Amino acid sequence: VPTPTSVQLPRPRHGVWFWSSHHSWHLFCYSVISSSISCQCTQSFPGESAFTSWRPAFRYYNMWVSLFGALLCCGVMFVINWWAALITYAIELFLYIYVTYKKPDVNWGSSTQALYYVNALDSALALTTVEDHVKNFRPQCIALTGAPMIRPALLDITHTFTKNNGLCICCEVYTGPRKLCVKEMNSGMAKKQAWLTKNKRKAFYTAVAADSFRDGVKSLLQASGLGRMKPNILVIGFKKDWRTATATQVENYVGVIHDAFDFELGMIIVRISQGFDISQVLQVQDELEKLEQERLALEATIKENDFEEGRSGICGFFRKARTLNISKHETKKDSTINTIQSMHVGEFNQKLLEASTQFKKKQGKGSIDIWWLFDDGGLTILIPYILTIRKKWRNCKLRIFTGGKVNRIEEEKLFLICKYHRQIAHINVINHGKMERS
Amino acid sequence: VPTPTSVQLPRPRHGVWFWSSHHSWHLFCYSVISSSISCQCTQSFPGESAFTSWRPAFRYYNMWVSLFGALLCCGVMFVINWWAALITYAIELFLYIYVTYKKPDVNWGSSTQALYYVNALDSALALTTVEDHVKNFRPQCIALTGAPMIRPALLDITHTFTKNNGLCICCEVYTGPRKLCVKEMNSGMAKKQAWLTKNKRKAFYTAVAADSFRDGVKSLLQASGLGRMKPNILVIGFKKDWRTATATQVENYVGVIHDAFDFELGMIIVRISQGFDISQVLQVQDELEKLEQERLALEATIKENDFEEGRSGICGFFRKARTLNISKHETKKDSTINTIQSMHVGEFNQKLLEASTQFKKKQGKGSIDIWWLFDDGGLTILIPYILTIRKKWRNCKLRIFTGGKVNRIEEEKLFLICKYHRQIAHINVINHGKMERS
C-alpha cells in the first residue's frame, strides 16, 4: 500500500518535467536563433556597418551579444534540468541530421551562400596587397577552348599544369549581331560553368561578344581576371585547317598571337594530330540522344496502348498489330540513320573521341622534348617541368635540346640546373645539323 | 667545507643541463621545421598532388607525418627536461616577437603569400558553385574613374554602396599607340592598386589599352571580373564638358551607355556641380611638391656651404653673402610662381578639392530623391536604400516621386513596402505637373 507521500510525489515530478522540457525547447530555439544570427554577421566585412549585406537589420544589433545569448541559453538549459536538456539536444541533432541527409533541393539564398561571396571577395582583395616575387610565380592560363565541352583535350592539358597552382579561364568569343550574341551568351553561361564543376575542372568560364574573333580575344587578354588573378599565359590550339580556312580567319589567328605578345603574355600553342574540336561528335551524340528519347517515348505510348487494349479485350487485337507495325517501321528508320551516320563518320569520330580524352589517361613511358634555343625567362622549361611532377606524366623524361658546342654540354647542364633548380635527364646539343646525346 | 658529494654533484648537473638544453634546441628546430612544412602543405589544393605550388618537393612527403613529428618533438622536449624546454620556448618566443616587431622590409616570396593566392582562387572557385538568388544580389560596380586618384569623389560614392556588400572595380582606358600604352599601363598598375589599399578603398584597379574609349570600356564591361565576381552596374560621371567636347568624345560617351544596356548592366550616372576630375589640382600639387623639394635641396647645399665656410673662417665671408643673395633670389622666384598660380587657379582648385572629398564627410540633414517612374526591377530604390544605411548618410530621408493619382498614394506605398521591404519616409505623386506630398 503506498504511503501518502509516495502518492503525492509523482505529480510535482511530472510538473517539473513538463516545465523544464518546455523551457529547454524555448531556450534551445532562442540559442539556435542567436547563434545563427551571430554567424550571419561574420558574412559582412569587419568595418563600419555590421549589416548582413544590404538586408534590413535590427538597429541595436551586436554579434557578440547574440553569441553570448546563445551560450547563456545552452548553459541555463543544463542548469534548469540536465536530462531534459540532453533529450532536447538529441532531438535537435536528429532533426539536423535528417535535414542534412535529405538535402531538400531548394535554393534558400542562404547566408552561407552570401558568405561564399564575401570570402571570395575578401581574399581577392587581400591578394592585391601581396607583392610580386619570382618564387610565387604561377602559370595563370587563359585557354581559348570555346565552350569547354567542345575542346576537352585542350582544357585537360591546360588543367594539368594549373590544377594545384594557378588560374585557368576557358574563353569563348561570340561573333555576329550583338543582341543575339549577348542573349545566347548569357543563357549558356551557367550551363557551361556547371559542366566545368561537374567534370571537376578547376576553371572559370568567360565569354564575350565581339565584332571579330581577334577583338574578342583582345578584350579577354586585357580585361579578364580580378586583381592579381590575371592571366599571364595564353593557351591556344594549333589551327588545323590553316590550309583551307579563309584569309580573314588565318589573319585573326595570327593576330591573336601578336596581341598576346604585345600585352606581355606567355604563349602556348598545343597540337594533337586529330585536332581538339569535337563539336561534330557532340552533335552526333546529341542527335542519337534525341532519337533515343523519341524511341523511348514511342515505346511508352505503345505500352500505354497495350495496357488500354488489354482492358478492351480481344477487340483491340487489330489495333495492336497496327501499332506494332508502326513501331517496327520507326525503329528500322532509326537504325538506318544510325548505320549511315556510323558508316560516314563513325570511325573518324571514334578516333577523335579517343584523342580528346588522351590527357585524362596515364601517359606511358616517353619523353618531353624541349627545344631551348635561347634563355627566354624559363617558361619553356617550367611548364614541361610542372607536367613531369603530375602523376599521369610521371614516366615521361625531360629532354632538352639546345644549340651550341658538344663540349659545352656539361657547362650548359650546370647552368640550367643552377638557374632553374631542376633535375634534367638529358641535354642534347644540336650543332650544324648533327645531334648528339649527352 | 664542502663534502666530497657536494663537490662532485655540480659537474654532472651542468652536464645534464648542457646535454638537455642542447637536445631541446635540436628538437625545437626540428619541430619548427616540421610544423612549417606541414603548414606549407595546406597552401596546395587538397587533391592528387600535395606539392607546394610547383616548387621542387620531397617525394615521400606527407603533411600529417610532419605534423606528428612536430608534436612529438614538443612532447619529447618536456619529457627529457621540462625546464630546459621552457627556457627554449621563452627564447624562441622572444626571437619570434622580435622579428614580428621589427618587420624586416624584405619580400621573401614566402609561403604565406602563396597561401593568399590559393585562398583567393579557391574561394572564387567555390563561389561559382553557388546559384543565383535574389536575396544574394549584390551591387557589383565598375566605375570609370580613370586612375583612382583622379576622380576620388566618384570612387567614394561607388564605395559607399559596395563597401561591405560587393565588388568595386576602378577602370582606366589608355588610348593611343599600343606599345606605348601597354608600357605605361603596366608600369602604373602596382602604384594605383597601392593607392587604393593605402586609402582603404576595397576596390580593384584594372586598365586596358584600346583604340578608342568606347572599345576599351566595352572590353571591361564584358570581360572583367572572375566567375561570379562580375560587374553588374556601370558607374560613370556626368560628362561636364559635353558642350565643348568634340563630337567623337560625346559619341563615345553615349555609346558607352548604350553598350552597358546591351550587355545587360545597370547604369548609374553621378553628377556633382564641380565635376569629378581633379587632375588639375594634382598637377599643381605635384609641381608645388617638386618646387618644395628643390628649395629644400638648395637650403641643404647652403647649409653645407655655411659649414665649410665656418671652417675656412672669416675668409669665407664674401662667399657666404653671395650665396645668401642667390638663395633669396631663388625663393623670391618660387613665391612669385606660387602667387601667379594661386591667383589663377587657387580659388577654383580649392572648391574642386573640397568637392572631391564631400562624400568622405558626414552628410547633413537632407533627402535622397528617387524618381520612380516605372517598375524597372528595383535597382533605383535599392541603391539609395543602401546609401541610407550608411553612417554618413544616416540623416538623409528617402523621398520617392512617382506618377499616378493622388488617391493612390497609400496603395503605391503599400506596394513598394511589400515588394522591397523598405521603410520609406515620403512618397510624392506627380500628376499633370502638380506635386503633392503624402
- Output the 3-class SS for chain A: CCCHHHHHCHHHHHHHHHHHHHHHHHHHHHHHHHHHHHHHHCCCCCCCCCCCCCCCCCCCCCHHHHHHHHHHHHHHHHHHCHHHHHHHHHHHHHHHHHHHHHCCCCCCCCHHHHHHHHHHHHHHHHHHCCCCCHHHCCCCEEECCCCCCCCHHHHHHHHHHHCCCCCEEEEEEEECCHHHHHHHHHHHHHHHHHHHHHCCCCCEEEEEEECCHHHHHHHHHHHCEECCECCCEEEEECCCCCCCCCHHHHHHHHHHHHHHHHCCCEEEEECCCCCCCCHHHHHHHHHHHHHHHHHHHHHHHHHHHHHHHHHHHHHHHHHHHHHHHHHHHHHHHHHHHHHHHHHHHHHHHHHHHHHHCCCCCCCCCEEEEEECCCCCCCHHHHHHHHHHCCHHHCCEEEEEEEECCHHHHHHHHHHHHHHHCCCCCEEEEEECCEEEEC
- Please give the grid coordinates belonging to residue A163: 590544377
CB nearest to A223's CB, from B51, B109, B224: B224
Write the DSSP assignment of A258-324 as a string of letters.
HHHHHTT-EEEEE--TT-S--HHHHHHHHHHHHHHHHHHHHHHHHHHHHHHHHHHGGGGHHHHHHHH
Supply the pLDDT for residue A205: 94
Supply the pLDDT for residue A135: 75
Secondary element (H or E) of residue B207: strand B204-210
Q: Which of A375-389, B239-253, B334-348, B404-418 has the lowest mean pLDDT?
A: B334-348
Residue A129 lies in a domain: no
Beta bridge partners, A204, equal A169
Nearest CA in chain A to B385: A54
Judge whether residue B29 has pLDDT over 80: no
Task: Check: CB of residue B35 under 8 Å from CB of residue B67.
Answer: yes
CB nearest to B138's CB, from A51, A117, A128: A117
Residue B123 lies in a domain: no
How many whole angstroms separate alpha carbon A323 and alpha carbon A306? 9
One domain, residues B247 and B147: yes
Supply the pLDDT for residue A311: 55
Contact: B164, A204; criterion CB under 8 Å? no
CA distance B429 to chain A (A): 26
One domain, residues A21 and A53: yes
- Chain B residues with beta carbon closer than 8 angstroms to that of A163: 45, 47-49
Phi, psi values for residue B212, rounded to 5° = -140, 165
Q: Which residue from B263, B78, B302 is spatially nearest to A223, judged by alpha carbons?
A: B263
Structural domain including A102 reads: 4-115
How many whole angstroms separate alpha carbon B144 and alpha carbon B168? 11
- Name, in order, each residue with C-beta under 8 angstroms of B282's C-beta and a sequence gap of 6 or more: B149, B150
Residue B179 lies in a domain: yes
Task: Check: CB of residue A53 under 8 Å from CB of residue B165.
Answer: yes
Contact: B123, A123; criterion CB under 8 Å? yes
Q: What is the pLDDT of residues B346-402, one digit of tens each?
A: 777 788 888 888 888 888 888 888 887 777 777 888 888 888 888 888 888 888 887
Greater pLDDT, B63 or B435: B63
Residue A361 lies in a domain: no
CA distances from A265 to A262, A292, B182 (A): 8, 46, 12
CATH number for the domain harbouring residue A262: 3.40.50.620
CB-facing half-sphere around the CA of B208: CA atoms within 13 A: 30
Contact: B126, A108; criterion CB under 8 Å? no
Q: Grade residue B47 by pLDDT with cuts at 50, 70 and 90.
A: very low
Beta bridge partners, A229, equal A226
Supply the pLDDT for residue A437: 43
Output the tens digit of pLDDT for each of chain A's 438 residues: 444 444 344 444 455 555 556 667 777 777 777 776 666 555 443 333 333 455 656 667 777 787 888 888 888 888 888 888 888 888 888 888 888 777 766 666 677 778 888 888 888 998 888 888 877 788 899 999 999 999 999 999 999 888 777 899 999 999 988 889 999 998 998 899 999 999 988 999 999 999 999 999 999 999 999 988 999 999 999 998 889 999 999 999 999 999 999 998 999 999 988 888 888 888 888 888 899 999 999 988 888 777 665 555 444 444 444 444 444 444 444 554 555 555 556 777 788 888 888 888 888 888 888 887 777 777 888 888 888 888 888 888 888 887 766 666 666 666 666 555 555 556 666 654 444 443
Mapped onto helix, strand or coil, the DSSP state of residue A237 is strand
Tell me which DSSP letter residue B151 carries: S
Contact: B127, A109; criterion CB under 8 Å? no
- Name, in order, each residue with C-beta under 8 angstroms of B169's C-beta and a sequence gap of 6 or more: A226, B141, B142, B143, B203, B204, B205, B206, B220, B224, B225, B231
Nearest CA in chain A to B167: A121
One domain, residues B220 and B259: yes
Judge whether residue B282 has pLDDT over 70: yes
- Chain B residues with beta carbon closer than 8 angstroms to that of A135: 55, 108-109, 114
Q: Grade residue B62 by pLDDT with cuts at 50, 70 and 90.
A: confident
Judge whether residue B323 has pLDDT over 90: no
Give chain B's mean pLDDT: 76
Residue to mutate among B106, B117, B174, B224, with most A CBs inside 10 A, is B117
- Please give the grid coordinates belonging to residue B4: 666530497
Mapped onto helix, strand or coil, the DSSP state of residue A404 is coil
Whether ipTM exceeds 0.85: no
Contact: A226, B223; criterion CB under 8 Å? no
Task: Check: CB of residue A337 under 8 Å from CB of residue A292.
Answer: no
| Of the ranges A24-33, A351-360, B119-128, B255-264, the best mean pLDDT one | B255-264
Residue to mutate among A52, A136, A181, A233, with most B CBs inside 10 A, is A136
Judge whether residue B63 has pLDDT over 80: no
- Please give the grid coordinates belonging to residue A320: 495492336
Nearest CA in chain B to A177: B262
Task: Check: CB of residue A73 under 8 Å from CB of residue A28.
Answer: yes
One domain, residues A348 and A262: no
Residue to mutate among B49, B123, B199, with most A CBs inside 10 A, is B123
Residue A430 lies in a domain: yes
Contact: A186, B264; criterion CB under 8 Å? yes
How many whole angstroms separate alpha carbon B149 and alpha carbon B167? 18
Nearest CA in chain A to B47: A164
Q: Which residue has the cell 515588394?
A: B419
Supply the pLDDT for residue A86: 85
Mapped onto helix, strand or coil, the DSSP state of residue A356 is helix
Handedness of CA A117, A118, A124, A128 (dihedral sign): positive
Supply the pLDDT for residue A141: 93
- Please give the grid coordinates belonging to residue A275: 585536332
Contact: A227, B218; criterion CB under 8 Å? no
CB nearest to B226's CB, from A113, A225, A263: A225
Residue to mutate among A40, A121, A162, with most B CBs inside 10 A, is A121
One domain, residues A226 and A320: no
Supply the pLDDT for residue B140: 92
Judge whether residue B42 has pLDDT over 60: no
CB nearest to B107's CB, from A133, A169, A178: A133
Q: Which residue from A328, A334, A308, A332 is spatially nearest to A319, judged by alpha carbons?
A: A308
Contact: A133, B113; criterion CB under 8 Å? yes
- Please give the grid coordinates belonging to residue B343: 591667383
Q: What is the pLDDT of residues B134-152, one digit of tens each?
A: 777 888 999 999 999 999 9
**CA–CA–CA angle A187, A188, A190 (5° rounding):** 95
How many whole angstroms separate alpha carbon B131 and alpha carbon A194? 10
Q: Which whole number is the average pLDDT over B254-270?
A: 93
> What is the total count of domains within chain B?
4
Residue A124 lies in a domain: no
Residue B133 lies in a domain: no
One domain, residues B334 and B381: no
- Between strands A434-437 and A426-431, the pairing is antiparallel
Q: How many CB pairs under 8 A join A and B?
A: 224
Task: Check: CB of residue B425 under 8 Å from CB of residue B398.
Answer: yes
Contact: B113, A124; criterion CB under 8 Å? no
Contact: A54, B114; criterion CB under 8 Å? no
How many whole angstroms separate alpha carbon A415 and alpha carbon A432? 22
Q: Which residue from A302, A184, A160, A178 is spatially nearest to A235, judged by alpha carbons?
A: A160
Contact: A136, B53; criterion CB under 8 Å? yes
One domain, residues A241 and A315: no
State in Å, rounded, how far the first CA of chain A is from the last one: 106
CA distance B200 to chain A (A): 11
Residue to mutate among A51, A53, A138, A163, with most B CBs inside 10 A, is A53
Task: Check: CB of residue A398 under 8 Å from CB of residue A425.
Answer: yes
Q: Which residue from A274, A280, A270 is spatially nearest to A150, judged by alpha carbons?
A: A280
One domain, residues A81 and A57: yes
- Chain B residues with beta carbon closer than 8 angstroms to that of A222: 208-210, 219, 223
Greater pLDDT, A234 or B436: A234
The number of beta carbons lying within 10 Å of the beta carbon of residue A389 is 17
CB nearest to B229's CB, from A167, A226, A421: A226
**CA–CA–CA angle A343, A344, A347 (5° rounding):** 70
CA distance A20 to chain B (A): 38
CB nearest to A164's CB, from B51, B130, B182: B51
Contact: B226, A124; criterion CB under 8 Å? yes
Mapped onto helix, strand or coil, the DSSP state of residue A42 is coil
- Between strands B204-210 and B426-431, the pairing is unpaired
Greater pLDDT, B338 or A7: B338
Contact: A114, B123; criterion CB under 8 Å? no
Q: Which residue from B396, B398, B426 is spatially nearest to B413, judged by alpha carbons?
A: B426
CA distance B253 to chain A (A): 19
Provide the Cα torsion A99, A200, A383, A414; round to 10°.
60
CB nearest to A124's CB, from B51, B120, B210: B120
CB nearest to B49's CB, from A55, A220, A390: A390
One domain, residues B248 and B148: yes
Contact: A386, B47; criterion CB under 8 Å? no
Phi, psi values for residue A303, rounded to 5° = -60, -40
Contact: A116, B127; criterion CB under 8 Å? yes
CB nearest to B117's CB, from A136, A385, A386: A136
- Please give the grid coordinates belonging to residue B364: 547633413
CA distance B329 to chain A (A): 45
Contact: A385, B126; criterion CB under 8 Å? no
Contact: B56, A229; criterion CB under 8 Å? no
One domain, residues A198 and A225: yes
| Of the ranges B102-111, B290-299, B304-313, B366-375, the best mean pLDDT one | B290-299
Task: Check: CB of residue B399 under 8 Å from CB of residue B370.
Answer: yes
One domain, residues B283 and B306: yes
- Chain A residues with beta carbon closer than 8 angstroms to that of B210: 222
Q: Which residue from B160, B173, B182 is spatially nearest to B391, judged by alpha carbons?
A: B160
Residue A131 lies in a domain: no
Residue to mutate among A115, A135, A185, A382, with most B CBs inside 10 A, is A135
* Domain boundary, last residue among B220, B241, B270: B270
One domain, residues A21 and A78: yes
Judge whether residue B164 has pLDDT over 50: yes
